[in-house]
Amino acid sequence: MGALPGRILLVKPSALGDVLRSMPVAASLRAAFPQAELDWLVQDDFADAVRAHPGVTRVVTFPRRAWRAWWSPAVLADVRRFAGQLRSAGYGLAIDLQGLLRSGFFLHACGAPRRVGWSDARELAWLGANERHPRRTVADATESMLGLLEDAGIPPVRDARVHVAPVAQESWSRRATRQGLDAGFILLAPTSRWTAKRWPAARFRELAAALLAEGRKVAMVGAPSERAQVAAAMPPGGVVNLCGELSLAEWLAAIATADAVVANDSAAVHAAAGLGRPLVGLYGATDPSVVGPYRRAESVEAAPGPAPSDPHAYRDDALQSRMNAISVEAVRRRLAVELDRGPRW
């Protein structure tokens, strides 16, 4: 591995689900370099997903939304300042787990003498690395990232735990008490940016109504922009609507205390897996062997038949028909098994 780095930059800025799937990388780097400072470069919206990780020294954020107009003089000046700050930080090792133009730029800008990335990184991102490794032919995305570390001489540690800040736990505890969720509840995450990933809202309504009839508390979550999706999935009365009400840190705290989580293929699946919660992840337009909850294949309810081989097939709205093939009865059976098995840790 060469000289031991005093400071390491982990470049994995987005998306939220991908960030949550990357926790074993932080654990691996901390185990391999216990004395080093480990900085995680992440989109500012997702900073609280990694801030509480015990292996991370500090979070380096960039304002993705503010930089959308990258051609403007003000944004270009801001990007140059940010690149200068990365270079002056004195990183000895940097690793690009994103493999896209933006992350390749960050990798190159930091100026670390050892910059590790995939040789087939898209959008010419491989140019940012001076140590390039072929992507391993493994299905699971997390295992692919750990393979990059292993090829760089860093032993993988498969600790996928997600961590919640104590202040967020306290804030959520107060809210849960106010809303009657402090004695246990099932958390439903019925949203997705992509239509083809959505289990029909009517199925979520039916599931929620059945759980309420069993005497269970039920809550639903979603981003502020997803209020319409959540509203469509709610039965009349009884469900606590948390959509748009929680910060990211509080959202993690809510998942950490749920009796179980039922979610479309989304960040909620990976958060629940990383927090060790009973989970039913719903998959139809995506392949759970690739983007399913890490080491939780038993927690997936997938549409019958082979999953699409195209990793971008979920952009085809017609594939929602696969999600339609997942019945409420199948989800309830899977949920009962998960509840019986209980938390993973």
Q: Which CATH number belongs to the domain containing residue 220 in this structure? A: 3.40.50.2000
Q: Is residue 191 part of a domain?
A: yes
pLDDT of residue 89: 98
The verdict on 244 and 117 lying in the same domain is: no
Do 239 and 323 sit in the same domain of this protein?
Answer: yes
Asked if residue 43 and residue 13 are part of one domain, the reply reads yes
289-298: pLDDT as tens digits: 999 999 999 9
Q: How many domains does the chain have?
A: 2
CB atoms closer than 10 angstroms to residue 160? 23
* Residue 62 and residue 135 in one domain: yes
Residues 101 and 180 in one domain: no
pLDDT at 2: 60
324 and 249, same domain (yes or no): yes
Q: Based on the domain organization, do 109 and 238 belong to the same domain?
A: no
On whether both 112 and 209 belong to a single domain, the answer is: no
> Does any domain span residue 160?
no
pLDDT of residue 135: 95
Domain ranges, residue 56: 7-151
Whether residue 21 is contained in a domain is answered as yes
pLDDT of residue 65: 87
**What is the rounded distance in angstroms from the CA atom of residue 144 to the CA atom of residue 148?**
6
Choosing from 151, 176, 204, the residue where a domain stops is: 151
Is 110 inside a domain boundary? yes
In the prediction, which pLDDT does 70 show? 80
Residue 173 and residue 313 in one domain: yes
Instruction: Show the DSSP H helices in the chain as ranges.
Output: 16-20, 23-32, 47-50, 73-88, 101-110, 141-151, 166-178, 201-213, 227-233, 248-257, 267-274, 288-291, 320-324, 328-341
109 and 184 fall within a common domain? no
Residue 178 maps to a domain: yes
- Please give the full DSSP string across 76-136, using - where no structure is assigned: HHHHHHHHHHHHHT--SEEEESS-SHHHHHHHHHH--SEEEEETT-TTTGGGG-SEEEPPP
Per-residue model confidence as pLDDT tens digits over 206-258: 999 999 999 999 999 999 999 999 999 999 989 999 999 999 999 999 999 99
In a shared domain, residues 147 and 170: no
pLDDT of residue 64: 87
Percent of the chain clearing pLDDT 90 (strictly above) = 94
pLDDT score for 133: 98
Q: Which parts of the chain sit beneath pLDDT 70?
A: 1-2
Q: What integer pLDDT is reported at residue 47 of this predicted model?
A: 98
Residues 102 and 190 in one domain: no
pTM of the model: 0.95
- Show which of 151, 185, 211 is a domain's final residue: 151
